[in-house]
Structure 1
Amino acid sequence: MSKDEISRTNRNRDRTSSKPKPKTKKKKRFLTKKRVLWTMFFATALAIFCALGGYLFIMLNGEKLLDANKDKLTVNETTKIYDRNANLIGELSFEKSDPVDYQDIPKLLVSAFVATEDKRYFEHKGVDLWAIGRAAVKDIAARSMVEGGSTITQQLAKNIFLTRDKTFFRKATEVSIAVALENQHTKEEIMEMYLNRINFGGTTYGIKAASIRYFGKSNLNELKVWEMATLAAMPKGPSRYNPLRNPELSKERRAVVLQLMYDQGYITEPEMIEAKAVNYNYKPPEKKQRYQAFIDYAVDEAEEKFGLSEDDLNIGGYKIYTTMDKNAQETVEDAFTDSDNFEKPVDDEQIVQGSMTIINQENGGIVALMGGRNYEKKGYSRVNDSRRSPGSAIKPLVAYAPALESGKFTMESRLSNEKQCFGKYCPNNLHGYSSTISMSDAIQKSENIPAVWLLNEIGINTGFQFVKKTGINLADEDKNLALALGGVSKGTNTLEMAQAYSSFANGGELREAYSIKSITDSTGTTVYKANTTPKRVMSETTAWQMTEMMQNVVRDGTGKKAKINRPVAGKTGTNQSGYSGISSNRDVWFVGYTPEWTAAVWMGYDKPDKQHLLKNSSPLAAAFWGKVMEKALEGVPEKQFPQPDRVDIPKNEPTPTPETAQTVSGFAAEYDASTMTVNLSWQAVPVSGVEYRIYRRETSETEFSSLLNTVSTSAGDISAMPGLTYEYYVTAYYPEQDLESEPSNTAAVSVQDEPQTPEPDPTIDPNLPTPTPDNTGEAGTGEDNPGNSGNNSGGNSGNNNGNNPGNNNGNGNQQGGGNNGNGGNNGNGGGNNGGTLPEITDPPLAPTTEPTVPPAATDPVNEGTEGVILSPETDATDEGILP
């Protein structure tokens, strides 16, 4: 074929083989080049327009506001505080001093504020865009407000601006005033105004007033580096970083400031290190003012709950209506100023401190409070700042109430009271043992075995969750059996304890404690109001049974000193020293309630050590509670405890008793100076199953009180204090007939002033570390503190080092833990942070006839809280740890 024919054939083949393609509808693209360009144009135009508008607003409005408000801090009246009956009790007046010229302010002090608040202060024009951008990036990354971008000039603008609303327009106005300030004043003038105007905690304004308030120095050139850093640390949180109120937090923040000063070249490294190490200990001159402790607490609550800053409150012209009762608050304050109500201190280093909180359980309102003796304005408050071991005061909350709530127990239930171990945890009783004991008697006598046994029966988590439900802050590490005896790692305070007990007093309903009923602003508008919605935490029947049993504690138990002319229910708590061979106490408590009010009292040293311990036990706190509540309740209508409409609780019928019960004879008492123990002995009565009850009276006391119970014919009192004289007697108790004999003859003993040092224990490993005067790490503690009690104290010789394995075996039939002679087992000592757990007694301890290994000392934790509690797997004594 020719080339033409081949070409034609191929074209024909292509025509016949190709098929027509279906037509597709073209989609229009939404983002065309044209649309993108127009969008960018309008966005740019809008941005330029907004920028111009913003610029005009900043320039014109800022200048106008600055001229109108120059040299002004507020146009409102002072904020006023009222009691529950709307009586004025105080005002938030300013504490100011004469302004300081810039040339009289040390350059290093200025540098401290620049380094901390605005390191580009001398470079920007009022607004630091770089800082704002950096803060925005960090906020976005953290998904929260973690860093601010305000300059020193902007902070000054806030103080000049009058309104307290927190809106975008307020922030924009702040910026506009800052720019206007920079236009009209030099950097030095702005810094001078800033330092003379800003708040330094409470009602203290200005750098000179702050220097006088916190350091007693009116000449700023006398300030040391650490003092300058302390002041520069405060603007971020004037209340939080107040060195008088929160010295530890102030020190932490001061360290940050010093680091910034070093990083930016203002101080040398040796200067930084030296300044970081200084502890704040300045005590300002006393300024006594009624109700100051309550006013400070209410102001703190306004800040924390309602978001008002101290500055807002100081210049906002608010009216704060509180729940305070004037008579009750005055009674508490007067009691705290009377030194006769407190144990005399052992030296001039520390005084015995205290705390008390009273709550109206019907509405949750705080009636009165006091955070310490010699309380200063905005000072350290032990009402909520200090946390201490509650001892046996926690037993009703962690063991007895949740057991009743389970429905498996009643107040007449028989609980195990035999000497026993729960795994490696071996608590002990002070009053001896029996096969069983009623729940009511167990609470009245504050026995330890029944509380631990009961918590083990209902489950540790059940008790743990019940305590948390009543408002006491526990940590997960507290989930162990030592919790039954007060073993809480972070401790608690009188506010939490009073709030928790108020649920018993209020028929099982709990209201969160509060001090502010309402707040009105300067226009008279109510801006905040308390929410008093109750929460049921237990049944009415449980609350009633607990009240019935805890009334017996006050009638004839460890809380007899708290009796007043109204019905009272309550519980004592004592946290012993934690030092081997020392029977004194760290903390004493009484938490109780009448049908009207609930109150908690704590007493102790802020920094307990071997020298600073209480000789008295919980009756000291109970007596204080009774004295205050008797007078505080004057004029308050008397009520009765609430009782459920129907109470189905089985009660035991009284058992007929024999006509006679043989009196114990041959009772004798003798003091052994080598062991610092009063040894007691008597002849046995010819009846099996008899329990002997020992009673003691110090000669200054009017009546005898129960000391301990035992089934043997001898015992020892190691809680007798040097220089005092005691009288003792013993009775025979017949459990089956519930009959107690007449008292034996009385024996008197005088305790020597200078007790001899006991001989060293040959079982002690000389390689073990020796204790220091610091607070010993401690943990779960119970009322009657058999941790070191018992016939022999071998239990304490099993390693109390906290971090080292137990390596010393105890001797004898110890009550401190261990199993008849093996005090050490494999225990971990006294707590997660080391140390022997403190012992708790209400009343005092049983005898110890052999010296014990001293506990390993550890650093104190959580503002005086004594150590942390061990898990149930570690060896533990009753309120503590098995040696």
Structure 2
Amino acid sequence: MNQPGVPGQTGSMERSKRAVKGKGSGGGKGKGKGPRKGRKKAALVWLFFVVLFAIVCAVVGYLLVILNGQRILSANINKLNLDKASIVYDAKGTEIAKLYVAEGNREFVPFSEIPKLLQDAFVATEDKRFYSHSGVDLLGIGRALVKDVIARSAVEGASTITQQLAKNLFLNADKTIFRKGTEASIALALEQQKSKQEILELYLNRIYFGKGQYGVKTAAKYYFGVTDLEKLKLWQIATLAGIPKAPGVYNPVSNPEKSMERRAVVLKLMFDQGLITEEEKEAAAKVVYKPSSSSSRDAKYLTFVDYVVDEAQERTGLSEEELRSAGYKITTTIDTKAQTAMEKEFANNERFEKSVDETKVQGAMVVMNQHDGSLVAMVGGRDYEMQGWNRVTKQRQPGSSFKPIIDYGPAIETGNYFPWTTVEDVKRCFGDYCPSNSNRNQYLGSIPMSQAIKESRNVSAVWLLNEIGIGKGLDFAAKLGIELDKEDRNLSVALGGLTHGVTPLQMVRAYGAFANGGKLQDPHSILKIENSKGDVIYEFKSSAKQVMDENTSYYVTELLKGVVQKGGTGTRAAVGGRTVVGKTGTTQAGIPNYKTSKNRDVWFVGYTPELTAAVWFGYDKTDKQHLLDGSSGQAAAMFSAVMSKVLEGYEKKSFPTPSGLKEEEKLDGVTGLMAAYSPESVSVELNWSPVAGDGITYKVYRKGDGESEFKMLAEIGETAYDDLALLPEQTYTYYVTAYQASKKLESEPSEQIAITITTDLEVTPPPSEGEEGGESPSPSEPGGSSEPPIEIVVPGETPSASPSGEPTETPSASPSASPSESPIPSLPVDGNEGQGDGIDSTVDQVQQ
């Protein structure tokens, strides 16, 4: 037995304690396992009750949704809110139109008479899982939610055919959770009460197809003239199936191109789902729609009313169907007298060229009050149809009518150019771009800006844009509301050669800023919209802004005055008793490998102190057979005919004249021009008197035998010049101008002097005043003094004479020449014509 204090016993006891302690420790570990199992069990119990509660809530919610849907359905299954037509008024409160959505625009067709392919086309396009879901497509909702989350807004719809049918009972297109929930509840209730065939039948008979047409049968009759749906062709079926997504956009009458694009999408969906073959798809996609006679409707103010509907949709977010059926009161800016006058002129076939076939020359016109942006009248085309192709809002190439916007306006805005500033009208290339003038007398050298725009000289416009920089031109156009593409960053825009073109509405807005002291207005056709309760849901608020200096608008207006006056390209636009300014525009055929003098587009855009208008003529589709023989004069004539009637009820106003205008600067003309032939150096020595001023240089011009135009020989700083480029037995005529580069000013030409290169020369003095045989040029002509040009002739030789014995004229334009025949520039004053149309040249006569 071990005793206390014995080492052996002590060690044994310690081991026993450690063993007991270790056992206790192990026991502690075993006791902890029990509470953890309890917590897991508790969590499972809670999860079970949560799931059970969720299931109960889901079942209760589902039942409530079903009951709510059934309640709404029972109250509305036979009701469609289509009986309150909205009314359109003019500014005085006179009713001008009703936006009907009546039962007469719907013809019911039973399911048995709807072709299987037509049914399948709508299912494939609108709801490919239609036959497998119970009214709500959960997969579609999931996909839409993902896209909405990514876009952070409601951008994707997930409505089934059943839901769309449900929505038609309420006419509320707002994308809200409440509305979507109500729509889903009705859809579920519909699926409980109706078969898939009954639902599809209701859907195809109730949906809106645009242009006031409800139901597939009325749409087929309206768009294609087809009364038996079995006779519909594949391309027609696909066209109809594509409309409901956006009836105002995809119906083939309003937007044939967009309709054709949408049709291709439908055909691809049908092909992907095995409904048609590849060959059928390709053939149906290529068919070009032609409106049927059923899609025409005789009514007044159609273009304007259609534009009102489009603007109302844009301003309010309401659908066309809502606008037509919810009893709105829409007050507009229309001037019915002006609208009637415009429609009358567009109905006059004498105003348009006769086509070679049934395809008519088309046109469009819009008038705007530049002081507030209100649209006064518009016509979208000849024989315009309800919700048809409104050419007022379609892009076309503007030609030279774009020059004030891209060339002259921005140049004047820099502060370095004025109507009297000289621009170059010389044949040259700008890199790879080589523009040319279409004027009969093609190139005039240095001419004032006022003459360049009056005679619509192309090279001058390109030269000017090149001088100020394309960027300034594009920026100025953007300020006027015309944003151009990156592809338009080239000098061809100087002549209106654009990638996509501009619309008459854009042009009338831009020109309105020139007419209104530089203020750009927001064109609008609606003053306010009230709902059926009389509450104003929209009212126009002006957003006009100053986009250019007042002086710029004034000087551009002064420039454009000359276009309409004698010698300009737009004389046919004149309106008796009114100040009219504007610009013509003409575009070439633009058909590859086809040269012709015919035109694709002709324009006149102009304004008076009261109103601004734009006119366009051309074919919708251009080819070799469908081009215009005439030029912009016919558009100018339409402007005159319409505006003469429209302005009768408008008080005469004046264009705004800003303070601080810069007065026209002129250089003194060169005097004392003398010429002598030097046989030793074989040259003509020219001398003249100096002109006072800083930085004055002199430009020497010459014209030889057989040449129709003067050409600049040199620009020098001296008052003498030797011409060495001579040919024997030739007569050369010279004149000199003074030029000040710092101000871009060039004087009027000096008197002309002619010299004949021979071996033995004798100078013949000019006839004195009143002496027979001399004819003085008018003061506006080159060398506008009382003396005729001097000519040097060989002694003993007699110049050719007329049969009457009178001296004959040297080759030059007669005093009555047309604007394009002038070989020598004259200087119109303040943008107006110069004497003798601003185009006369001096008549040289030989004195024996």
Interval containing the TM-score (normalised by the shorter chain): 0.7 to 0.9
C-alpha change, 1:497 and 1:234, in structure 2 (3 Å) is same
Matched position secondary structure for 1:634: helix
Aligned equivalents of 2:58, 2:534: Cα separation in 1: 39
Alignment of 1:575 with 2:587, yes or no, is: yes
- The equivalent residue for 1:51 is 58
User: Match for 1:63 among 50, 66, 70?
Assistant: 70
Is 1:655–1:738's contact at 8 Å kept on the other side of the alignment? no
Q: How much has 1:525 moved relative to structure 2? A: 0.9
- The equivalent residue for 1:449 is 459
- The equivalent residue for 1:80 is 87
Aligned equivalents of 1:462, 1:57: Cα separation in 2: 65
Q: How much has 1:402 moved relative to structure 2? A: 0.8
- The equivalent residue for 2:286 is 277
Alignment of 1:427 with 2:438, yes or no, is: no
- The equivalent residue for 1:339 is 349
Aligned equivalents of 1:188, 1:289: Cα separation in 2: 39
Alignment of 1:735 with 2:787, yes or no, is: no
As a proportion of its length, which structure holds more helix? 2
- The aligned runs of 1:476-875 (5 Å cut-off) are 476-556=486-566, 557-564=568-575, 565-578=577-590, 581-652=595-666, 688-689=734-735, 734-737=781-784, 744=814
What is the one-letter code of the residue matched to 1:394? Answer: F
What is the one-letter code of the residue matched to 2:86? Answer: T
Aligned equivalents of 2:520, 2:53: Cα separation in 1: 57
Matched position secondary structure for 1:437: strand
Q: With structure 2 as the length reference, what TM-score do the two structures score?
A: 0.73
Aligned residues: 670
Is 1:75–1:162's contact at 8 Å kept on the other side of the alignment? no
User: Match for 2:423 among 415, 440, 443?
Assistant: 415
Deviations 1:97-145 (A, max 9, x none): 3311111111111111111111111221111112211222344345554
* Structure 2 gaps, min length 5: 1-5, 12-38, 673-704, 709-729, 738-752, 755-776, 789-811, 824-836, 838-848
Deviations 1:157-195 (A, max 9, x none): 111126565532222111111111111211111111111
Is 1:127–1:151's contact at 8 Å kept on the other side of the alignment? yes
C-alpha change, 1:543 and 1:101, in structure 2 (3 Å) is same
- The aligned runs of 1:234-253 (5 Å cut-off) are 234-253=243-262
Aligned equivalents of 2:561, 2:50: Cα separation in 1: 77
- The equivalent residue for 2:758 is none
Q: How much has 1:48 moved relative to structure 2? A: 5.2
What is the one-letter code of the residue matched to 1:510? Answer: L
User: Match for 1:200 among 193, 209, 214?
Assistant: 209
What is the one-letter code of the residue matched to 2:549? Answer: S
Alignment of 1:180 with 2:189, yes or no, is: yes
- The equivalent residue for 2:267 is 258
Is 1:734–1:740's contact at 8 Å kept on the other side of the alignment? no
Matched position secondary structure for 2:402: helix
Aligned equivalents of 1:421, 1:308: Cα separation in 2: 53
Matched position secondary structure for 1:633: helix
What is the one-letter code of the residue matched to 2:98? Answer: E
Percent of pairs identical after alignment?
A: 49
What is the one-letter code of the residue matched to 1:566? Answer: R
C-alpha change, 1:449 and 1:277, in structure 2 (3 Å) is closer
Q: How much has 1:656 moved relative to structure 2? A: 12
Q: How much has 1:56 moved relative to structure 2? A: 4.0
Larger RCO (alpha carbons 8 Å, 6+ apart): 1
Aligned equivalents of 1:340, 1:383: Cα separation in 2: 21
- The equivalent residue for 1:319 is 329
Aligned equivalents of 1:402, 1:193: Cα separation in 2: 59
C-alpha change, 1:485 and 1:83, in structure 2 (3 Å) is same
- The equivalent residue for 2:471 is 461
What is the one-letter code of the residue matched to 1:505? Answer: A
Is 2:563–2:581's contact at 8 Å kept on the other side of the alignment? yes
Deviations 1:67-117 (A, max 9, x none): 212222216621111223222111111252331111111111111111111
C-alpha change, 1:433 and 1:51, in structure 2 (3 Å) is same
Is 1:511–1:534's contact at 8 Å kept on the other side of the alignment? yes
Matched position secondary structure for 2:80: coil
- The aligned runs of 1:327-366 (5 Å cut-off) are 327-345=337-355, 347-366=356-375
What is the one-letter code of the residue matched to 2:65? Answer: I
Aligned equivalents of 2:489, 2:41: Cα separation in 1: 69
Aligned equivalents of 2:491, 2:786: Cα separation in 1: 33
Aligned equivalents of 1:541, 1:42: Cα separation in 2: 81
Is 1:601–1:625's contact at 8 Å kept on the other side of the alignment? yes
Worse overlay, 297-306 or 622-631: 297-306
Aligned equivalents of 1:247, 1:39: Cα separation in 2: 62
Q: How much has 1:643 moved relative to structure 2? A: 1.2
User: Match for 1:100 among 105, 109, 115?
Assistant: 109
Aligned equivalents of 1:648, 1:462: Cα separation in 2: 22
Aligned equivalents of 1:33, 1:645: Cα separation in 2: 90
C-alpha change, 1:53 and 1:438, in structure 2 (3 Å) is farther
Aligned equivalents of 2:186, 2:135: Cα separation in 1: 9
Q: How much has 1:40 moved relative to structure 2? A: 6.9
Query: If you compute each CA radius of gyration, which structure gives the higher value, 1 or 2?
Result: 2
Deviations 1:358-395 (A, max 9, x none): 111111111111111111111112111x3221111111
Is 2:369–2:376's contact at 8 Å kept on the other side of the alignment? yes
Is 1:164–1:316's contact at 8 Å kept on the other side of the alignment? no
C-alpha change, 1:215 and 1:685, in structure 2 (3 Å) is farther
